[in-house]
C-alpha cells in the first residue's frame, strides 16, 4: 500500500517497486492505481489502463516474473459486484435505476469502497505474488481505510431502515412514508423530491439482498490490510506539508494496528562534497568575485552553497518524521535530473529504493 500526499512520487514509487519485484525477485506482480493520474501507464509503455490487469512488455523475463498494471474503474467495478451477487433480472433493475447510476459514478466514498472491492477481488484469485496499491492522496487514502466502517454505519442507519421497510412490505415508498411520518415525509419530499425518493426506494429494495455481502467483503478486506503480509509504505517529498501528511497517516496506521513498513523520502538532494560547508563556499565565492578572478569557479561555489543549504533544510524536515517514528525504516531517493517516464527510469528508482 503506497500512501502519501499528492505530487510526491507515489505512482512512480509503486511502479518502480512492481518492476523490481518482477525483474529481480521473479514475482508475478500487479500494480493497481486508484489515483486518476495517467502517469503509471505512460511510465510502463502502455497506451492506457483500465479495470483489467494489463501485462507490461519489455521487462527482463529471465527471473520468471511478470508485471501487470491496472487502474480502478469505479462504475465498472460496482457493476461487476452487482452482476456477481444477484440475478440477471435484478441486476438489470439496479443498472436502470437513476439513483444507482448517480451513486456508482459520482457519489463521495464510492471510489474508496470500490477500491476495497477490487483489492479483495485481486487477493481472492490467488493469481499474484504481490499486489501493489497506489492510493489517492493521503486524506483520500484514509477514506480508503474508513470505507468498511462507513458502509456499516450506512447499512445500520435509521434512514436506510425507514427506506427499506416499505420496500420490503411491497407498498409504495412515498405513500407509506407520508402516512407514517407526516411532517418528516413532507420535509424529505421538499429536500429530495418525490421522484428521487422513489428512485432511492427502488435502489434500496434492489440492493437489499446484497447489503450483507458488501459488509462481509469489506470487513474481510480490512482484515487483509491488518495482516502481517501487508505492508504500508509512506511516500513523501522533503517538504513540510508532505512530511506532516505522512506523520498524520503513520499515527493512524499505528492506531489501527496496520503494518507500517517504512517511509520513502523522494526527490532528496545531496552533495558529493559534504565537507565543504555553505558558509565556506559563499566566503570563497565572494573573494573570487571581488578579485575578478575565476568567475566560473565562483559560480560553482555559489551553486554548491545553495545545494548544501537545500540538503540541510530537507534533512531537518525529514527529521521531524524520523524523530517521531524512530522505529520506522526510511530510505532516501535522490532527485533525478528528469521526470521518470519509461521503464529504464523506473529501474533506476527501483535500485535506489533497494
pLDDT tens string 209-223: 666 677 777 778 788
Residues 301 and 264 in one domain: no
Number of Cα atoms under 13 Å in the Cβ half of residue 147 = 30
The mean pLDDT of 250-267, rounded to a whole number, is 93
Domain of residue 299, residue span: 278-313
The mean pLDDT of 147-161, rounded to a whole number, is 61
Residues 86 and 235 in one domain: yes
Structural domain contains residue 212 = no
8-35: buried (b, 16+ CB within 10 Å) or exposed (e) per residue? bbbbbbbbbbbbbbbbeeebebbbbbbb
Please tell me which of 198-212, 270-284, 331-345 the model is most confident about, judged by mean pLDDT: 270-284
Strand partners of residue 262: 233
Quick one: pLDDT band at residue 80, thresholds 50, 70, 90? confident
Residues 282 and 349 in one domain: no
Quick one: pLDDT band at residue 97, thresholds 50, 70, 90? confident
On the question of pLDDT at 145 being above 90, the answer is no
Quick one: pLDDT band at residue 152, thresholds 50, 70, 90? low
Structural domain contains residue 182 = no
Residue 153: the pLDDT is 65
**Phi, psi at 263, each rounded to 5°:** -125, 130
Structural domain contains residue 164 = no
**How far apart (Å, rounded) are the C-alpha atoms in residues 168 and 201?**
10
Residues 57 and 95 in one domain: yes
Structural domain contains residue 348 = yes
Residue with the bigger pLDDT between 96 and 316: it is 316
Report the domain count for the chain: 2
List Cα–Cα distances, 88 to 91, 98, 203, in angstroms. 5, 18, 15
The mean pLDDT of 56-79, rounded to a whole number, is 86
Quick one: pLDDT band at residue 193, thresholds 50, 70, 90? low
Residues 122 and 262 in one domain: yes
Residue with the bigger pLDDT between 159 and 121: it is 121
Residues 262 and 285 in one domain: no
Q: What are the start-end ranges of the H helices in the chain?
A: 10-23, 39-43, 74-84, 88-96, 98-106, 110-125, 138-155, 158-169, 173-181, 183-192, 194-207, 211-226, 240-255, 278-291, 295-324, 343-353
**How far apart (Å, rounded) are the C-alpha atoms in residues 322 and 44?**
32
Structural domain contains residue 38 = yes
Residues 68 and 94 in one domain: yes
Pick the range with the lowest mean pLDDT from 2-6, 18-22, 26-30, 311-315: 2-6
Residues 261 and 290 in one domain: no
The mean pLDDT of 248-275, rounded to a whole number, is 93
The mean pLDDT of 139-156, rounded to a whole number, is 67
Residue 237: the pLDDT is 95
**How far apart (Å, rounded) are the C-alpha atoms in residues 331 and 348?**
14
Residues 304 and 347 in one domain: no
**How far apart (Å, rounded) are the C-alpha atoms in residues 256 and 208?**
30
Quick one: pLDDT band at residue 181, thresholds 50, 70, 90? very low
CB atoms within 10 A of CB 53: 19
Residue 184: the pLDDT is 45
**How far apart (Å, rounded) are the C-alpha atoms in residues 144 and 297?**
52
* Cβ-Cβ contacts under 8 Å for 118 (sequence gap 6 or more): 32, 51, 72, 77
Strand partners of residue 3: 234
Structural domain contains residue 122 = yes
One-character DSSP codes across 130-154: EEEEEEEEHHHHHHHHHHHHHHHHH
- Sign of torsion over alpha carbons 204, 207, 213, 214: negative
Structural domain contains residue 120 = yes
Residue 347: the pLDDT is 93
Structural domain contains residue 188 = no
Residues 99 and 248 in one domain: yes
Residues 138 and 107 in one domain: yes
The mean pLDDT of 150-176, rounded to a whole number, is 54
Quick one: pLDDT band at residue 101, thresholds 50, 70, 90? confident
CATH label of the domain that carries residue 339: 3.40.50.300
CB atoms within 10 A of CB 169: 10
Residues 47 and 116 in one domain: yes
Strand partners of residue 131: 30
Look over the chain and give the mean of its residue pLDDT values, rounded to a whole number.
Answer: 82
CB of 34 closer than 8 Å to CB of 136: yes
Closest by Cα among 58, 72, 54, 59 to 21:
59
Quick one: pLDDT band at residue 178, thresholds 50, 70, 90? very low
Contacts of 212-217 with C-beta under 8 Å, sequence gap 24+, read 213/85, 214/81, 214/151, 214/155, 215/148, 215/151, 215/152, 215/155, 217/116, 217/117, 217/120
On the question of pLDDT at 190 being above 80, the answer is no
Residue 64: the pLDDT is 87
Amino acid at each position: 500500500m503506497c500512501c502519501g500526499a499528492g505530487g510526491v512520487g507515489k505512482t512512480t514509487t509503486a511502479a518502480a517497486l512492481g518492476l523490481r519485484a518482477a525483474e529481480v525477485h521473479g514475482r508475478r506482480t500487479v500494480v493497481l492505481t486508484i489515483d486518476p493520474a495517467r502517469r503509471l501507464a505512460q511510465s510502463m509503455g502502455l497506451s492506457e489502463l483500465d479495470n483489467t490487469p494489463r501485462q507490461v512488455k519489455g521487462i527482463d523475463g529471465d527471473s520468471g516474473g511478470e508485471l501487470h498494471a491496472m487502474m480502478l474503474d469505479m462504475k465498472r467495478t460496482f457493476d461487476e459486484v452487482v452482476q456477481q451477487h444477484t440475478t440477471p433480472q435484478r441486476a438489470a433493475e439496479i443498472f436502470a435505476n437513476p439513483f444507482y447510476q448517480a451513486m456508482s459514478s459520482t457519489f463521495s466514498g464510492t471510489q474508496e469502497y470500490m477500491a476495497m472491492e477490487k483489492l479483495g477481488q485481486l487477493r481472492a484469485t490467488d493469481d499474484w505474488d504481490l499486489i501493489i496499491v497506489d492510493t489517492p492522496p493521503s486524506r483520500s487514502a484514509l477514506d480508503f481505510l474508513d470505507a468498511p466502517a462507513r458502509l456499516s454505519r450506512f447499512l445500520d442507519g435509521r434512514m436506510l431502515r425507514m427506506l427499506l421497510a416499505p420496500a420490503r412490505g411491497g407498498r409504495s415508498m412515498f405513500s407509506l412514508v407520508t402516512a407514517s411520518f407526516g411532517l418528516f415525509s413532507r420535509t424529505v419530499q421538499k429536500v429530495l423530491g418525490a421522484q428521487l425518493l422513489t428512485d432511492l426506494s427502488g435502489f434500496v429494495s434492489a440492493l437489499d439482498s446484497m447489503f450483507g455481502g458488501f459488509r462481509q467483503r469489506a470487513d474481510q478486506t480490512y482484515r487483509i490490510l491488518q495482516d502481517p503480509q501487508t505492508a504500508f509504505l509512506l511516500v513523501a517529498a522533503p517538504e513540510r506539508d508532505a512530511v506532516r501528511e505522512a506523520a498524520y497517516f503513520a499515527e493512524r496506521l499505528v492506531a489501527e494496528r496496520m503494518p507500517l513498513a517504512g517511509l520513502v523520502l523522494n526527490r532528496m538532494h545531496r552533495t558529493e562534497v559534504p565537507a565543504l560547508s555553505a558558509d565556506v563556499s559563499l566566503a570563497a565565492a565572494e573573494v573570487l568575485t571581488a578579485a575578478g578572478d575565476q568567475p566560473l569557479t565562483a559560480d560553482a561555489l555559489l551553486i554548491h552553497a545553495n545545494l548544501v543549504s537545500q540538503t540541510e533544510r530537507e534533512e531537518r524536515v525529514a527529521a521531524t518524521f524520523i524523530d517521531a517514528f524512530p522505529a520506522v525504516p526510511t530510505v532516501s531517493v535522490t532527485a533525478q535530473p528528469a521526470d521518470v517516464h519509461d521503464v529504464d527510469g523506473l529501474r533506476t528508482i527501483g535500485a535506489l529504493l533497494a
